[in-house]
Amino acid sequence: MDRKEAWIALDLIPGIGPRSVIRLLEIFHTPEAIISAPVARIRELNILNQAQIRGMSRGVDRDALKRVKTAIKEHRFSVVTWDDPEYPQALRHIDDPPVVLYVRGSLEDFEPAVAVVGTRAPSRYGSDTAYRLSRDLSMRGISIVSGLARGIDTRAHTGAMEGEGRTVAVLGTGIDVIYPPENTGLAEKIAERGAVVSELPPGVQPDPGNFPRRNRIISGLSSGVIVVEAARRSGALITARLAGEQGRMVMAVPGPVTNVRAQGPHRLIRQGAVLVRDADDVVEEIAPQIKGMIETSETSGQAHDEILRLMGGGPLSIDEIAGELGLEVVDVARRVSILELKGEVVRTEGNRFMARSIHG
């Protein structure tokens, strides 16, 4: 059994959640060592409860492991585990990060990211706002994370794909089970422009208990969460609460006072969430949250210098910069977005950019 299989096998043991696995990892160092450790040794650590101990005592579920491996091979999913270099760094540092992620598409280069969430039955105002916000943020190279649900989630993903950034859909089902079914085509497009991810093994069907839990991944992948429309008791508000607990920025879009769907965002704003109206408001708020990212190699090196050199000649669009430098549009959009957040470039009329030094 290789390392990846060991992670999957460990994750398939009933009742063993991420917190318990990570605590065991601190002692045994590898998933293989955890699986092969004597149950008596694990019991004496007082990390697991009795139900979890019983699950460990049954050992690896070979049949379940085989089913997962077969599904991965047949559907060409990838598996990203907690100790993989490509595991999202922001997600790694939440309290209970999933130790296994099943992925369609790629999680590379999706940061910075913002989550856009809300009701499954939005008003026209909410639907249009989610689409516009996501499109405009995506045009700035900011990825959009959501849950592929009906309503606001669907509009967020669709708007993101009209821009230049990536989009990530986090499922509350197995990676091979798209819910709602009418979003199957959308999921395919998302996998081409970003990633569809799930912590649940292939084959897991929709269950109400799984969707609130996946919300911690939506917020965990993001620098901030925007709630567009949501009732007072809503999964979107769970995502907002989790975002606050994770140290993410919580933002909300106000709506008409007569709209029951605006009650959730208005309640968040009264509790201290940031009121946002458009992409400019969002970018202003998340800039401090991604300061560490701004200081990374994304804004250094040859590509950084070449982009600034080109912008020194006058306003250019993302497409023009990408064509001139032979880079992917999404890569240029992300770099320009970070340069804008850093204050080295400014946006001009027509969604074009120039170096601040020539703009004054």
pLDDT at 297: 43
pLDDT at 292: 55
Per-residue H/E/C for the chain:
CCHHHHHHHHHCCCCCCHHHHHHHHHHHCCHHHHHHCCHHHHHHCCCCCHHHHHHHHCCCCHHHHHHHHHHHHHHCCEEEECCCCCCCHHHHCCCCCCCEEEEEECCCCCCCEEEEECCCCCCHHHHHHHHHHHHHHHHCCCEEEECCCCCHHHHHHHHHCCCCCCEEEECCCCCCCCCCHHHHHHHHHHHHHEEEEECCCCCCCCCCCHHHHHHHHHHHCCCEEEECCCCCCCHHHHHHHHHHHCCCEEEECCCCCCCHHHHHHHHHHHCCCEECCCHHHHHHHHCHHHHHHHCCHHHCCHHHHHHHHHHCCCCECHHHHHHHHCCCHHHHHHHHHHHHHHCCEEEECCCEEEEHHHHC
Q: Are 104 and 191 in contact (CB under 8 A)?
A: yes
pLDDT per residue as tens digits for the range 95-108: 999 999 999 999 98
pLDDT at 290: 59
Q: Are 55 and 34 in contact (CB under 8 A)?
A: no
- Rounded to whole angstroms, the Cα distance separating 55 from 15 reads 7
Digit-by-digit pLDDT tens for the chain (360 residues) are 789 999 999 999 988 889 999 999 999 999 999 999 999 999 999 999 999 999 899 989 999 999 999 999 998 899 999 999 999 999 998 999 999 999 999 998 888 899 999 999 999 999 999 999 999 999 888 899 999 999 999 999 999 999 877 999 999 999 999 999 999 999 999 999 899 999 999 999 999 989 999 999 999 999 999 999 999 888 899 999 999 999 999 999 999 988 999 999 999 999 999 999 999 899 888 877 655 554 554 444 567 778 888 888 788 888 888 888 888 777 787 778 778 777 788 888 877 888 876 544
Four-point Cα dihedral 344, 347, 348, 353, nearest 10:
70
Q: What is the pTM of this model?
A: 0.85
Residue type, 206: P
- Rounded to whole angstroms, the Cα distance separating 280 from 212 reads 29
